[in-house]
Amino acid sequence: MQPVYVSNTWKMHFALYGRKFGQDAEGRIRTLLEHLARKGVRVTCCSALASCIRERGLDGGTDIREFSGPEDLPGDVDIFLSLGGDGTFLNALTIVGDSGIPVAGINFGRLGFLTSTGSGDSGCGIVDRMLAGDYSVRKRSLLEVSYEDRPGDFYPYALNEITLQRSEPYMIGIEVLIDGMRIPTYWADGLLIATATGSTAYSLSFGGPVAVPDSSVFIITPMAPHNLNVRPLIIPDTSVVEVVIRSSGHGTMISADNRSSGIAERRRVTVRKAPFGLNCVSFGRDTFFEALNEKLLWGEDRRNEKNKYARL
């Protein structure tokens, strides 16, 4: 990478977050870094990404500022830029936490439903829009999970869902109370409690409904229930959900997005709306519906091709 002229006056400060990347992403990373430098954007990288940039000679001989976690993330960061797929974007929450720093995503993964770009895009376009102030920030609701003996390294907040499920090939019984009121026990592989944002993630795989991310709802979705008349349930996001697992001594696992841990049988798990949200960068009012069309092929039907994205 050739040295790029950098303005002495920083326009914005971006924190770049991602995992180690392969050769297929090298060209896009180089293009993005050069573009940020030309635009006078101050850049700080997470340690894993910074190490990979150095190894591949993409640093242009400059000293890369870096952070290792939330404790040393600079307080003057304007945008937290996730470079990866949806898993990387979800992990960004563990770094940003309740800081309120807006998060944007550039898709270096497969689907990238939560990200702001399509596959193969280096992200220079959205960088220009953010520098021009041509974006909005939307607060996404988070879930908070609490239970006795929760491991200290298990981050208790989730953007998509909290999942309780079997870790062995045995069906489990799941007792659920919503605001103290008991609902029928589920006999299933597990139970998902999803946010509106998470309605298009794991919950969707089990027949859960799609909700617009701004909706003030949570979705309770059983996982492969052994019952013909069990359906997902939509509840207000002000509700408090309590769950107890009956697993007859077999293993059970709890997950917050893509982070998981074992949990003891009969342990009472409480799930509620977190006291803070995640600020997500948005470009345009139709971002969610365009993502449904482009990334999940919503309503794909050759009869609709003529009217695709048509405005009334």
Q: What is the CATH number of the domain that holds 154?
A: 2.60.200.30
Catalytic residue positions, numbered: 86
CB-count exposure of residue 290 (10 Å: 0-12, 13-18, 19+) = middle
Check whether 6 has a pLDDT greater than 50. no
DSSP-H helix ranges across the chain? 23-38, 47-55, 86-96, 124-131, 202-205, 287-295
Over residues 80-93, the pLDDT tens digits come to 999 988 899 999 99
Selected residue with higher pLDDT from 19 and 12? 12
- Using the structure block, give the residue that is written with the tokens 């870094």: 33
Tell me the C-alpha distance between 221 and 166, whole Å. 15
pLDDT for residue 305: 66
Residue 190 domain-assigned (yes or no): yes
Mapping DSSP to helix (H, G, I), strand (E, B) and coil, where does residue 262 land? Answer: strand
pLDDT for residue 95: 96
* Residues spanned by the domain of 17: 13-140+278-303
Over residues 190-232, the pLDDT tens digits come to 999 999 999 999 999 999 999 999 999 999 999 999 988 889 9
Query: Which own/partner contact pairs does 131-137 have at CB distance under 8 Å and 24+ positions apart?
Result: 131/11, 131/12, 131/39, 131/41, 134/283, 135/104, 135/281, 135/282, 135/283, 136/281, 136/282, 136/283, 137/102, 137/279, 137/280, 137/281, 137/282
pLDDT for residue 4: 37
Say if residue 173 is in the same domain as residue 68: no
Say if residue 147 is in the same domain as residue 269: yes
Over residues 41-57, the pLDDT tens digits come to 999 999 999 999 888 88
Which amino acid is residue 276, in one-letter code?
F
Mean pLDDT across the stretch 94-119?
Answer: 82
Query: How distant is the alpha carbon of residue 162 from its chain centre?
Result: 12
Percent of the chain with pLDDT over 90: 62
Say if residue 116 is in the same domain as residue 39: yes
Say if residue 135 is in the same domain as residue 148: no
Q: How many domains does the chain have?
A: 2
Selected residue with higher pLDDT from 292 and 174? 174
Residue 5 domain-assigned (yes or no): no
Residue 2 domain-assigned (yes or no): no
Say if residue 259 is in the same domain as residue 225: yes
